[in-house]
């Protein structure tokens, strides 16, 4: 029975100024695992993502490549959609903010709501701007005079913009975070958001001049000389993808209750923990109920990314190791909420030693024994200790999802696999098969192992959907050998 509490899950929408990299893959599979798990326990859930098309960095990238912003975002945007498909990510919707007809009207409707609340005003501004962040930086945020994230020089900008009165909402945002009405996980990210507030909540610019934007962006209502600031624009995708302001999905998944979860990287926490709640409060709309903040993928300790030239191609990894091997590496070997260094040798280890060596080998051994000895698999008289490990694993997986510790969930699942491997070695069913009088013990042994594999497959569904389906297919209605679940990698 479906639990009557709708859940709306989103990943962030990335800029499309270049091809997607492994960091984008991480967030996609994390949010997909969360969505699959919640669907699996019966929730009415909608899961969306998309691309952030309307930014100055996209304009600059188009200029560098000798093309137009329209052509650039169409080309790279298609790559992000392909990445989701390559990773077996099951979105309910995927929005491209420059070309989707729902988006611009929703952004302008949200803008007007903020105007009606008296929170939009015009003023002249002068400050240091990071195009990589699409954000004005305060002196206190600089590292040796530069953006701490992006290597490009900061730009000193002077222009008249429209501003949003974020300072009005400092206390309501603070109370929402402190009370966990807006949950932020992990705790370190919650504390970081509170530090942002403690350092002073300032009004921020929500428009850019049409001239500086090179004509690219959504026009500000009532002022054709300005376009909407990319973060105001991008954050609104969480509403436009639901048909805001009047769509039935908006009412069901946002306005009328339930859970509203954003899966984001820690580098965009400020925009989701401060800017977005302030805009929503101004517009009279419910806040998100949770921010799940993941760590970043690094290479030799440095964040991987397009601007740093150290991006890792996820399509190559999928072609080399297979989709579930890549999903497993991202979800099991990278910490869900802390930065993790990418190592391709660990992708190979995850595939060869863990997926093929531990899980695949267990499945092969059990299926071969059941078929060879024509054992009737039962659901009673199972080994109590192995069943207890299975029950403990189910509780651990649920706890890991509650705490946004997906790596802990997979570690627990593979502890069950290890327990099953120890059980088969200790029970030695191949020896039991030699004596007719041991037939009941053989049946109980193999039935216990099949049960453990079924539990494993069930728990793996959110993480490794193709692997889970293959295990279930080989165990139901009768096991069959078939092809290797994880074929050996070529030496190339």
In the set 147, 294, 367, 451, the catalytic residue is 147
Place of tokens 């009370």: 179
> Which of the residues 57, 88, 96, 150 is marked catalytic?
150
Our answer to whether residue 358 is catalytic in this structure is no
**Which among 141, 131, 48 has a CA at the least distance from the CA of 89?**
48
Phi–psi pair at 460, nearest 5 degrees? -80, -10
What would the two tokens of residue 279 be? Answer: 């805009």
Nearest-angstrom CA–CA distance, 146 and 319: 38
Please pick, among 24, 103, 190, 294, the residue that the annotation labels catalytic. Answer: 24
Q: Is 367 a catalytic residue?
A: no
Strand boundaries in 63-170, DSSP class E: 93-96, 120-130, 135-137, 155-164
CA angle 248, 112, 209 (to 5 degrees): 125
Residue 406 CA to chain centroid, in angstroms?
11
- Identified catalytic residue from 133, 272, 367, 445: 133
434 noted as active-site residue: no
Could you please report the per-residue DSSP string of 151-163? -SPPEEEEEEEEE
Query: Are 337 and 188 in contact, with CB atoms under 8 Å apart?
Result: yes
CA distance 319 to 328: 15
6 touches 259 (CB < 8 A): yes
DSSP 460-476: HTTT-HHHHHHHHHHHS
> Could you tell me how far CA 92 lies from the centroid of its own chain?
14
Of the residues 57, 114, 130, 262, only one is catalytic, namely 130
Element (H, E) at 220: strand 219-220
Contact at 8 Å (CB) between 118 and 127? no
Contact 433, 379 (CB under 8 A): no
User: Is position 133 annotated as part of the catalytic site?
Assistant: yes
Q: What is the CA radius of gyration of the chain?
A: 25
- As beta bridge partners, residue 292 has 185, 263
43: annotated active-site residue: no
Residues 285/322, Cβ–Cβ less than 8 Å: no
Specify the residue for token string 């054709």: 224
Catalytic residue among 21, 103, 135, 190: 21
Kindly give, in sequence order, each residue whose CB lies less than 8 Å from that of residue 192, ignoring residues fewer than 6 positions away: 266, 269
Residue 235, both tokens: 């954050």
Q: Which of 306, 367, 407, 445 is the catalytic position?
A: 306
Please name the residues in contact with 454: beta carbons below 8 A apart, sequence gap of 6 or more. Answer: 471, 472, 475
Q: In which residue are the tokens 């908006």 written?
A: 250
Residues serving a catalytic function are 21, 24, 130, 133, 147, 150, 303, 306
């Amino acid at each position: 029975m479906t639990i009557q509490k709708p859940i709306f899950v989103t990943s962030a929408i990335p800029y499309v100024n270049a091809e997607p990299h492994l960091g984008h893959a991480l967030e996609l599979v994390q949010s997909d695992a969360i969505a699959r798990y919640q669907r699996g326990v019966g929730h009415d859930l909608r899961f969306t993502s998309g691309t952030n098309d309307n930014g100055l960095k996209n304009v600059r990238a188009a200029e560098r490549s000798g093309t137009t912003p329209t052509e650039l975002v169409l080309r790279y945007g298609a790559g992000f959609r392909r990445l989701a498909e390559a990773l077996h990510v099951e979105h309910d919707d995927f929005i491209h903010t420059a070309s989707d007809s729902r988006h611009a009207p929703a952004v302008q409707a949200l803008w007007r709501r903020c105007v009606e609340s008296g929170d939009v005003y015009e003023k002249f501004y002068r400050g240091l701007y990071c195009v990589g962040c699409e954000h004005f930086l305060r002196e206190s945020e600089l590292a040796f005079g530069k953006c701490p994230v992006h290597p490009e020089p900061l730009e000193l900008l002077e222009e008249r913009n429209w501003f949003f009165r974020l300072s009005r909402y400092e206390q309501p945002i603070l109370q929402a975070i402190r009370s966990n009405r807006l949950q932020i996980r992990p705790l370190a990210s919650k504390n970081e958001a509170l530090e942002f507030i403690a350092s002073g909540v300032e009004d921020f610019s929500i428009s850019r001049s049409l001239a500086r934007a090179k004509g690219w962006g959504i026009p500000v209502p009532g002022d054709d000389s300005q376009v909407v600031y990319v973060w105001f624009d991008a954050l609104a995708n969480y509403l436009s993808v639901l048909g805001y302001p009047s769509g039935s999905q908006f009412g069901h998944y946002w306005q009328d209750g339930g859970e509203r979860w954003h899966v984001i990287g820690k580098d965009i926490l400020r925009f989701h923990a401060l800017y977005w709640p302030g805009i929503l409060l101004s517009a009279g709309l419910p806040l998100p109920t949770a921010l799940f903040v993941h760590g970043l993928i690094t290479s030799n300790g440095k964040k991987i990314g397009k601007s740093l030239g150290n991006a890792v191609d996820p399509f190559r990894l999928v072609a080399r190791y297979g989709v579930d091997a890549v999903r497993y590496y991202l979800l099991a070997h990278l910490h869900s909420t802390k930065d993790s260094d990418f190592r391709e040798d660990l992708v190979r280890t995850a595939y060869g030693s863990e997926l093929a060596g531990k899980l695949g080998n267990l499945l092969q051994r059990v299926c071969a024994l059941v078929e060879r000895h024509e054992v009737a698999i039962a659901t009673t008289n199972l080994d109590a200790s192995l069943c207890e490990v299975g029950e403990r694993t189910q509780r651990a997986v649920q706890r890991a999802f509650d705490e946004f510790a997906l790596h802990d969930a997979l570690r627990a699942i593979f502890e069950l696999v290890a327990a099953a491997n120890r059980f088969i070695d200790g029970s030695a069913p191949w020896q039991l098969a030699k004596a007719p009088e041991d037939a009941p013990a053989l049946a109980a042994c193999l039935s216990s192992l099949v049960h453990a594999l079924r539990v494993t497959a069930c728990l793996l569904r959110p993480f490794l959907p193709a692997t889970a389906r293959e295990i279930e297919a080989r165990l139901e209605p009768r096991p069959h050998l078939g092809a290797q679940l994880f074929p050996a990698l070529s030496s190339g």
